[in-house]
Structure 1
Amino acid sequence: MKITAIRATPVNIPLEAPYLWSYGSLAGFSKTIVEVETSDGLVGLGEGPSPANAAVIANSFAPRLIGRDPIDIQACETLCLPSWRGVYTDVDFASIRAFGAIEMALWDLRGKAWGRSLSDLFGGRVRDAITFTDYFAFREARDGVGGESDPQAVLDYCLGQRERFGTTMFEGKLSTADPKPSIETLALLREGLGPEAVLRIDSNKAYSLATATRIAQAIEPLGIRSWEDPVATFEDMAKLRRHTAIPFSVHTPDLRRAVALGVPDAFCTDVNVHGGIGRTLKFIAACEQMGLDFWCYSGDSGIASSVYLHLAAAFDHIREPSQSLFHMQPFDVIEEGPLRPRNNLVPVPTGPGIGVTLSPDRLAFCHRHFVDNGPFNKFHDPDRPDRFRRLPLS
């Protein structure tokens, strides 16, 4: 079996309404969907975190990989990436993330060729359904959806999610320039959802150490399960640890610094940041050895999200719920999507490989949205659209 074609398609995956975060307003996500076709007629699916991945894959990786054995993933990586071992100044992270999309498709092909699911390839399942948090945030209104602009509206939204979908695990933004509305929202959520509800928060590095210290003192009695990126650096996080017992999580996969500094307590990443599934498996195993939790990212299509399902199914160490924006995503590129948790759970796909089916019509719709509107600007500030925000906000 040989690789005969590689297609990389940039797409937009809109949210039903833009949500507010530390950098501004986010209306959706722009990705690259990858198809790797073989001489046996199999097609492997992958996903890259940026539309810029498409050019790297088409111009650099595809010419090197056509005619190669898709099962030999290590050889494919050697053809595409120079040696790298971690977070250093000489690392080309754009290429690493783009190759992660290719590598995902190669794992999908391996599963399809052998008739086994990804979780089987990872060693077998310890669970058949995976827990996810449901997201909340202050949101702008769009087409009659969203518009939660005060704490009561956010509570009403979360109560509605609990009523409709049985959600009892929530994660949301604590990143307003004045932290008071965010703190009031958390207090109202804890009162309205009850003591058993899981509440995690994400500040996206919005705050200085001094402000984060004041916030921690206000929210610690609320039983916060985890606080993601409260400050900008691991070093400031270590100082913040002196003032609160709230566990911290980050997206930056620097395990060495985490072990040296004693923070964070958990990593939340996608597969691409590690350069693919194979390196992610090693990272999760290292987290387990170091006693650090791991869970998966949000904001992806059903392709990458289903990979997260298989990872959590195969690793008993992934004990905490992963992130999801599933109920805020009205569109997907797979036939089985958008994924919809019920009672916090999403079933793990049972088919070979990743176990999902690319929809040509949905892929075309999301690609057309990208062509017509351009990529989503994750850093658009509705208050000052002519310039970018600078952190910390407070």
Structure 2
Amino acid sequence: MKITATKATPVNMPLEIPFWWTAGYYPGTSKTIIEVETDQGIIGLGEAPSVDVVETIRAMGEVLVGMDPIEIAACEKKCVPAWQIVQNTDDSSVVKAFGGIEIALWDIRGKAWDQPLYKLLGGAVRKEIPFTEYFAFRPEIDGKGGENSPQAVADYCQQMAEDHGSSFFEGKLILGDPELEIDTVKAIRERLGKSAMIRLDSNMQWSLSTARHILREIAPYSIRNYEDPVATFEEMAQLRQHSSIPFSTHMPDIRRIVALGGVPDNIVTNFAVLGGIGRAQRFIGACEAMGIGFWCYSGDTGICTAAYLHMVAATQWMHEPSQSLFRWQYIDVIEGGPFRQTGNVIPVPEGPGLGVTLDRETLARMHADICDNGPVDHFHDPARPGQFRRLPLN
């Protein structure tokens, strides 16, 4: 089998309602959908986490023409410089670009061998994959959203528990007011009871002194994890002296974590960011050896989500639920998408490869959106038009 072409299609994936995060409104994401075509008619699907790598993916695709897609390591060698050079250049675009392609190569392998991806990764240790529900402060638009107070956020979480059997929750309580965050955590815990999982994510919102205050106040409410409460690993290490709540980060720097005595406790990222499924497996193995937790972040299309499902199915160390915005996503590039959890879990797909099929009509709509409107802007603040929000807040 030979690779004949690679397509890279940038898309917008808007949410039904934007929510507040540290840099402003978060209205959705922009992704790159990848199709690797072969001379046997098999097409592998992949996804890159941004659209700044479209031209790099297309250039790599030209290099890969004539290569055997089953020979993933050989394909990587064609496209990615030696790893120490990649790190030295401080440019992650080549890693993200090939990481998205590499997911498609695994999809081809599974389709060629008529096996679901999780079997190629070693077989399943679980078939139902856990994800969190998401909560945040959101404006009200056309009768949807409107969670702008502690009670409104708690009402929303309770509704998810009643409607979908959800007991795993994660969210951002980001409006620049530490007392509002504290009050909202209290309201959620009181509403959901003792057994529900609550994780928080401030996107580096707080100064060290404010974070100390918040963590002290929310400690009695059994917070499972707090993601990036402050701006640096070093500040998290100082914060650890005042709190036993575990921390996580989107920055996959194991060496710094080990050097700082195991802070943060967990890494939350995307497989393409790590260079693909193969490198993600090795990275997660290193996390396991160092006692560092690992789960996947939210906001992807169904292609990358399917990769998460298969990897978690085959990886015992990935026992914590991954993040999800599934309930707020109303459009997806896969048939039957977006995924939706029931009772906290989604079953791993059993079809060959990733087990998902591209919805070409919806792909065209999502591509037209980015052509007409440009990539999604994560840094718009209605209160400060034309100005980025600053970090950290005191």
Q: What interval of TM-score do these two structures reach, taking the shorter chain for normalisation?
A: over 0.9
CA shift digits 1:306-330 (9 cap, x unpaired): 1001111001111111100000101
Partner of 1:333: 333
**How is 1:347-386 mapped onto 2 (pairs within 5 angstroms)?**
347-386=347-386
Partner of 1:210: 209
Distance 2:11 2:141 in 1: 20
CA shift digits 1:57-91 (9 cap, x unpaired): 12x21211111111111111111111114984423
Residues 1:270 and 1:86: Cα distance change in structure 2 (over 3 Å)? farther
State the shift of 1:142 in Å: 2.4
**How is 1:177-188 mapped onto 2 (pairs within 5 angstroms)?**
177-188=176-187
Partner of 2:69: 70
State the shift of 1:385 in Å: 1.8
2:89 alignment partner, SS class: coil
Distance 2:95 2:352 in 1: 26
- RMSD over aligned CA atoms reads 1.2
1:377 alignment partner, SS class: coil
Partner of 1:83: 82
State the shift of 1:369 in Å: 1.4
State the shift of 1:140 in Å: 1.8
1:337 alignment partner, SS class: coil
1:364 alignment partner, SS class: helix
Partner of 2:138: 139
Asked whether the 8 Å contact 2:137–2:174 carries over to 1, the reply is no
2:112 alignment partner, SS class: helix
Asked whether the 8 Å contact 1:268–1:296 carries over to 2, the reply is yes
CA shift digits 1:99-129 (9 cap, x unpaired): 1111110011111111111111110000011
Distance 2:85 2:327 in 1: 34
Distance 1:382 1:86 in 2: 41
Partner of 2:117: 118
2:239 alignment partner, SS class: helix
Unaligned runs of 5+ in 1: none
Asked whether the 8 Å contact 1:86–1:254 carries over to 2, the reply is no
CA shift digits 1:224-283 (9 cap, x unpaired): 000000111111100000000000011100011111112011111100111111110001
Asked whether the 8 Å contact 2:15–2:329 carries over to 1, the reply is yes
1:358 alignment partner, SS class: coil
Distance 2:299 2:343 in 1: 20
2:31 alignment partner, SS class: strand
Partner of 2:299: 299
1:102 alignment partner, SS class: helix
Asked whether the 8 Å contact 1:175–1:182 carries over to 2, the reply is yes
State the shift of 1:372 in Å: 1.6
1:305 alignment partner, SS class: helix
Asked whether the 8 Å contact 1:18–1:141 carries over to 2, the reply is no
Partner of 2:258: 259
Partner of 2:45: 45
TM-score (norm 2): 0.98
Asked whether the 8 Å contact 1:167–1:342 carries over to 2, the reply is yes
Distance 1:370 1:142 in 2: 22
Supply the AA of the counterpart residue of 1:311.
M
State the shift of 1:286 in Å: 0.8
Partner of 2:283: 283
Partner of 1:195: 194
Partner of 2:11: 11
Partner of 2:154: 155
Distance 2:86 2:21 in 1: 26
Distance 1:93 1:180 in 2: 37
Asked whether the 8 Å contact 1:174–1:183 carries over to 2, the reply is no
Asked whether the 8 Å contact 2:5–2:62 carries over to 1, the reply is no
Distance 2:80 2:171 in 1: 36
Distance 1:175 1:214 in 2: 16
Supply the AA of the counterpart residue of 1:338.
P
Supply the AA of the counterpart residue of 2:76.
E
Partner of 2:234: 235
1:354 alignment partner, SS class: coil
User: Which has the higher mean CA deviation after the structures are superposed, 73-82 or 324-333?
Assistant: 73-82
Supply the AA of the counterpart residue of 1:201.
L
The count of aligned residue pairs is 393
Residues 1:161 and 1:142: Cα distance change in structure 2 (over 3 Å)? same
1:268 alignment partner, SS class: strand
1:381 alignment partner, SS class: coil
Asked whether the 8 Å contact 1:84–1:91 carries over to 2, the reply is no
CA shift digits 1:317-358 (9 cap, x unpaired): 111111000001011110031101001010000011111000
Distance 2:378 2:266 in 1: 24
Distance 1:352 1:91 in 2: 36
Tell me if 1:171 matches 2:182: no
Asked whether the 8 Å contact 1:137–1:154 carries over to 2, the reply is yes
Unaligned runs of 5+ in 2: none
Tell me if 1:20 matches 2:20: yes
